[in-house]
């Protein structure tokens, strides 16, 4: 098994669009810089949606301009449709993320389009990309792939059919999202295996939520069946936290800790990553952040997958317990 | 693969001895009754240690007397030595848990005995058990099996040797404990597999901590290699929480949710289990409880492994999100 995974940080998009406050542009840029300094090489920096719907994302073009200055960073933005994709390409993103719901009810509620209409939209976006910016990657994320709070159970065959349709429409990668935190490890293994059997190497990222505490277990399950890209957000920011204490997204810090401690390299420096929380907090004062590793520290004798040891003795010793 | 696991609730022992406050006896009994009502069939109800060291456990014999009235419940107590084991057997427990550290430094610090002396102690306890109460089970838990904050790395060979020694000394089961929250899923799989190769069916429970958020992932890893008994505590109470927000033990509620949602039966009713938190909180006012499932609810269309659906529509619907 390869011993490397890619972590795609979605906090600046998924996180910031889920909180009420709007992080000032300068703070967004400083946070993204701090995340990049920690070794993150793919960041979803914002979304192209009308500012009247998501005022938190009104400055997305400016944020992208900054992110493009960071060496080696794949700058990603979420778009809901062709118009958004055109704006994202004009702003210079490297990759476009496009959520397509496997639940018809969720699709209609979220973007007022059927799944079929969304597949058509992807086809149009791919054609425009081919004409305007052939280097830009297009990743379709199958949302509500593991269940939907509106529709209830989502048939696995619906997910497979949608993944195949999206591949035929030209999406470069098709990931699976546990939009509402209903996934379990057995289901994650089964569904990713079936999707891979259907679309092969176009199988993309696992986007898991921590709604019922299963975020890391579901990521482990996805890793076990060959998934090598994982979405997560610093401090677990975002991801529909509808209950106190119920963080949404998988926490990047804990996810990186899990893989590195298993001997699976992420390319990320955990100490620098944990220090980046200060940049997030500076831009969103008072917003609760989640994550156990930042509280506990790396623990005695923690060793990165590549053999490095923590630079900071304090962090290494923080795990002292009776 | 069998689709059933046993959850051993350790909150009344591991949890209550880790908090400063002492839960009044009547509240302990009410909490244990509530846990039993939820379907838990093994509960570690207390420990036999001198009351001057752990005043929280001074009433253990009285608590056991109550627990023994609950039908079908395996009443378990932790003992550090022969004297404690004798007292536990006199009190009528069904099973004895005895921690034996794989780290010599931890063993000396914790019980002022070397590992070898602890194995001798187990041998004496087994002899006394055979003479006095042959029906009582003896489970040795290898603590610091995945690392030690005092000693640092714990050699896997040390764990294997200790497990083999404990089996030879007559312990009925030998479990592995991540005492200081240093385990990772790769290590959990490897070590449980090696232990099973060494001592076969005497391989016992996985006792995982959630120090760095990996508790459920580590339980999943242990399940994957055949472990079928898991220790956890309601609300994550206990387990050396040395940092704010860093809960110690795996949360029973989330663990049960994970297995049931995977189709692995626990015999536990999650709604009754979550209701039991009130009994815990009544006895320990103000003590923070952890767990994501209690906040999020069971979610729409949750189905137990045995096909049951939640009785309470409110709980089932709590997972509604945008």
- Interchain CB distance below 8 Å, A152 and B300: yes
Residue A230 and residue A188 in contact, taking contact as beta carbons nearer than 8 Å: no
Max Cα-Cα span within chain B: 63
The pLDDT value recorded for residue B245 is 41
Residues of B in contact with A297 (CB under 8 A): 243
**Residue A147 counted as domain residue:** yes
Contacts of A32 (CB under 8 A, 6+ apart): A12, A43, A45, A63, A66, A67, A70
Q: How far is A258 from chain B (nearest CA, A)?
A: 6
Phi, psi angles (nearest 5°) of residue B142: -80, 100
Pick from B114, B61, B63, B71: which is nearest to B91 by CA?
A: B61
Dihedral, CA of residue A207, residue B321, residue A110 and residue A191, to nearest 10: 40
The pLDDT value recorded for residue A320 is 37
What ipTM was assigned to the predicted interfaces of this complex? 0.94
Please give the Cα distance from A271 to A41 (Å, whole number): 16
Residues of A in contact with B212 (CB under 8 A): 254, 257-258, 292-293, 296, 299
pLDDT at A247 over 90: no
Please give the Cα distance from B187 to A263 (Å, whole number): 10
- Interchain CB distance below 8 Å, A295 and B245: yes
The pLDDT value recorded for residue B238 is 84
Q: Each residue of A75-110: pLDDT tens digit?
A: 999 999 999 999 999 999 999 999 999 999 999 988
Number of domains in chain B: 1
Q: Each residue of A118-130: pLDDT tens digit?
A: 999 999 999 999 9
Residue A122 and residue A138 in contact, taking contact as beta carbons nearer than 8 Å: yes
Q: At A201, which CATH number?
A: 3.20.20.70
pTM over 0.90: yes
The pLDDT value recorded for residue A239 is 62
**Residue B226 counted as domain residue:** yes
Please give the Cα distance from A248 to A226 (Å, whole number): 24
**Residue A322 counted as domain residue:** no
Q: How confident is the model at residue A242 (pLDDT cuts 50, 70, 90)?
A: very low
pLDDT at A322 over 60: no
**Residue B55 counted as domain residue:** yes
The pLDDT value recorded for residue B110 is 86
Please give the Cα distance from B281 to B53 (Å, whole number): 24
The pLDDT value recorded for residue B288 is 87
**Residue A53 counted as domain residue:** yes
Count, residues in chain B:
322
- Interchain CB distance below 8 Å, A292 and B210: yes
Please give the Cα distance from A283 to A59 (Å, whole number): 14
- Buried/exposed A254-265: b ≥16 CB within 10 Å, e otherwise: bbbbbbbbbebb
Q: Determine if residue B307 is left, alpha or beta; phi over 0 gives left, psi from -120 to 50 gives alpha, anything else beta.
A: left
The one-digit pLDDT tens for each residue of chain B (322 residues) are 459 999 999 999 999 998 889 999 999 999 999 999 999 999 999 999 998 989 999 999 999 999 999 999 999 999 999 999 999 999 999 999 999 999 999 999 888 999 999 999 999 999 999 999 999 999 999 999 999 888 888 999 999 999 999 999 999 999 999 988 899 999 999 999 999 999 999 999 999 999 999 999 999 999 999 999 999 999 999 865 444 444 589 999 999 999 999 999 999 999 999 999 999 999 999 998 989 999 889 987 899 999 999 986 555 444 333 2
Pick from B98, B96, B167: which is nearest to B129 by CA?
A: B96
**Interface test mutation site (partner B, options A177, A264, A292, max chain B beta carbons within 10 A):** A292
By Cβ distance, the residue of A148, A240, A295 closest to B244 is A295
- Interchain CB distance below 8 Å, B213 and A322: no
The pLDDT value recorded for residue B321 is 32
**Which residues in chain A (229-258) have CB-CB distances under 8 A to chain B?**
240, 242-247, 251, 254, 257-258
Q: Say how many Å lie between the first and final Cα of chain A, rounded.
A: 37
Q: How confident is the model at residue A149 (pLDDT cuts 50, 70, 90)?
A: confident
Q: How far is A202 from chain B (nearest CA, A)?
A: 26
Question: pLDDT above 90 covers what percent of chain A?
Answer: 83
- Interchain CB distance below 8 Å, A292 and B244: no
Residue A219 is a catalytic residue:
no
- Interchain CB distance below 8 Å, B213 and A212: no
Query: Rounded to whole angstroms, what are the CA distances from A124 to A129, A138, A166, A201?
Result: 9, 12, 12, 22
Q: Each residue of A30-57: pLDDT tens digit?
A: 999 999 999 999 999 999 999 898 999 9
pLDDT at A15 over 80: yes
The pLDDT value recorded for residue A321 is 32
**Residue A266 counted as domain residue:** yes
> Which residues constitute the domain of residue B213?
6-317
**Residue B322 counted as domain residue:** no
* Residue A250 DSSP label: P
**Residue A81 counted as domain residue:** yes
Residues of B in contact with A216 (CB under 8 A): 213-214, 216-217
State both tokens at B9: 């609730």
In chain B, the residue whose alpha carbon lies closest to the alpha carbon of A219 is B217
- Chains A, B: CB contacts under 8 A, how many? 172
**Residue A95 or A181, more confident:** A95
pLDDT at A222 over 90: yes
Q: How confident is the model at residue A311 (pLDDT cuts 50, 70, 90)?
A: confident
Q: Each residue of A201-216: pLDDT tens digit?
A: 999 999 999 999 999 9
């Amino acid at each position: 098994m390869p011993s490397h995974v890619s972590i795609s940080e979605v906090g600046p998009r998924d996180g910031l669009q889920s909180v009420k406050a709007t992080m000032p542009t300068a703070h967004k840029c400083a946070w993204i810089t701090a995340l990049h300094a920690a070794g993150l090489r793919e960041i979803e920096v914002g979304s192209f949606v009308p500012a009247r719907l998501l005022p938190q994302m009104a400055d997305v073009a400016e944020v992208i301009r900054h992110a493009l200055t960071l060496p080696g960073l794949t700058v990603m933005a979420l778009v809901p449709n062709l118009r958004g994709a055109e704006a994202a390409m004009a702003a210079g993103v490297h990759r476009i993320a496009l959520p397509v719901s496997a639940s018809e009810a969720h699709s209609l509620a979220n973007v007022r389009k059927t799944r079929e209409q969304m597949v058509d939209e992807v086809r149009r976006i791919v054609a425009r990309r081919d004409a305007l910016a052939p280097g830009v990657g297009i990743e379709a994320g199958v949302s509500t792939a593991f269940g939907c709070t509106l529709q209830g159970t989502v048939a696995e065959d619906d997910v497979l059919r949608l993944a195949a349709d999206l591949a035929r429409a030209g999406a470069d990668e098709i990931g699976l999202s546990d939009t509402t935190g209903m996934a379990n490890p057995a289901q994650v293994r089964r569904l990713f295996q079936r999707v891979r059997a259907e679309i092969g190497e176009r199988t993309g990222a696992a986007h898991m939520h921590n709604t019922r505490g299963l975020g890391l277990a579901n990521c482990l399950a996805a890793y076990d069946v060959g998934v090598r890209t994982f979405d997560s957000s610093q401090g677990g920011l975002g991801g529909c936290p509808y209950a106190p204490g119920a963080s949404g997204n998988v926490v990047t810090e804990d996810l990186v800790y899990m893989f590195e401690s298993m001997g699976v390299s992420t390319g990320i420096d955990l100490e620098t990553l944990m220090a980046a929380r200060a940049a997030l907090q500076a831009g969103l004062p008072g917003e609760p952040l989640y994550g156990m590793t930042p509280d506990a520290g790396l623990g005695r004798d923690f060793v990165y997958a590549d053999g490095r040891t923590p630079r900071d003795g304090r962090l290494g010793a923080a795990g002292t317990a009776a």
